[in-house]
Amino acid sequence: MAEESRINGFAWFLAGLGVGALAGILYAPKSGRETREELANSAREGSEYLRNRGKQVAEQVGGIVDKSREQMSEYVDRGRDVVDRGRAQWEDFVERGKSLVGDQGARVAAAVDAGRQAYRSTSSPASGSSGSTTGTAFGAGSTPSSTGSSGA
């Protein structure tokens, strides 16, 4: 919106410049040579004004571009921070999960060992030699030390 009003203002300026030049030519009490010199000076002044105004606009646009770059850099930095925090939280959750699985694995291994011990203690005195064979067959699949090391 502001740019459109500047363009409209500039268009009105040019229109006024043209009307003024025309009125000056029609009502000029000066000679043709003087009028031409005055018109040439006015044209030079107008082109100088346009050149200066163009430089001002270029500086303003450059400032806007610089400000936009700074904001984009800030947004990128914020995004990186958020990603880093998310990654750290994810790693923390993974480590907690590994720890929990390790603890539960150790508890299960301890429960299995306790169950084996309970089974051996109850089956050994009552059965005699067959209890030791059953206990050996039960324990042949995995030993407590192998179960404990695979869970950790």
Long-range contacts of 4-12 (CB under 8 A, 24+ apart): 10/53
Confidence at residue 9, expressed as pLDDT on a 0 to 100 scale = 82
Can you tell me which residue has the tokens 């508890």?
107
Q: Which pTM value belongs to this model?
A: 0.40
pLDDT, tens digit (0-9, with 9 covering 90-100), for 87-101: 999 999 999 999 999
Residue with the bigger pLDDT between 9 and 70: it is 70
Judged by average pLDDT, the poorest of 59-68, 122-131, 143-152 is 143-152
DSSP 30: S
Give the DSSP per-residue string, 102-139.
HHHHHHHHHHHHHHHHHHHHHHHHHHTHHHHHHHHHHH
Confidence at residue 73, expressed as pLDDT on a 0 to 100 scale = 94
Residue with the bigger pLDDT between 87 and 28: it is 87
Confidence at residue 71, expressed as pLDDT on a 0 to 100 scale = 95
Local confidence band at 37 (pLDDT 50, 70, 90 cut-offs): confident
CA distances from 97 to 94, 101, 105 (A): 5, 6, 12
H helices present in the chain, as ranges: 2-26, 32-127, 129-140, 144-151
Confidence at residue 125, expressed as pLDDT on a 0 to 100 scale = 58
Local confidence band at 145 (pLDDT 50, 70, 90 cut-offs): very low
